[in-house]
């Protein structure tokens, strides 16, 4: 069973609020990822990290930001939420370079009114 956790699972907030989606893993993985997925649609990579103090933007342009101060923690922040940010956000970590196996959290479903 994967040891990667996301909170909150569900969040409904108003426009303009600042939010942080939490992602933590206890597997000691260096590589971590954030994907955005709309219902019934494909996954889009929005941020990734190769380790502490390393963050990169993904293929999909996103107004969110991330930080990686500790290996186990990779939070995603939206400074001012808008209805266009309504989506599911999935966090993952990878056992690279060993097996390279990818593990996902349960996801955070965000609704911005």
Binding stretches for other proteins (CB under 8 A): 2, 6, 31, 33, 39-40, 42-43, 45, 48, 58, 88, 90, 92, 94, 96-97, 99-107, 109
> Which of 14, 100 has the CB closer to other proteins?
100
Q: Is the alpha carbon torsion for 53, 69, 46, 2 positive or negative?
A: positive
> Which of 37, 79 has the CB closer to other proteins?
37
User: CB 88 → other proteins: shortest distance, Å?
Assistant: 7
User: CB 82 → other proteins: shortest distance, Å?
Assistant: 22
């Amino acid at each position: 069973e994967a040891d990667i956790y996301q909170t909150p699972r569900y969040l409904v907030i108003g426009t303009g609020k600042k939010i942080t989606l939490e992602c933590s893993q206890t597997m000691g993985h260096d590589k971590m990822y954030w994907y955005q997925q709309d219902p019934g649609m494909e996954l889009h990579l929005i941020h990734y990290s190769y380790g502490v103090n390393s963050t990169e933007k993904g293929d999909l342009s996103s107004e969110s930001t991330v930080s990686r101060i500790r290996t186990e923690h990779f939070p995603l922040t939206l400074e001012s939420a808008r209805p266009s940010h309504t989506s599911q956000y999935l966090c993952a970590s990878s056992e690279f370079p060993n097996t390279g196996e990818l593990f996902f959290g349960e996801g955070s479903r965000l609704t911005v009114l």
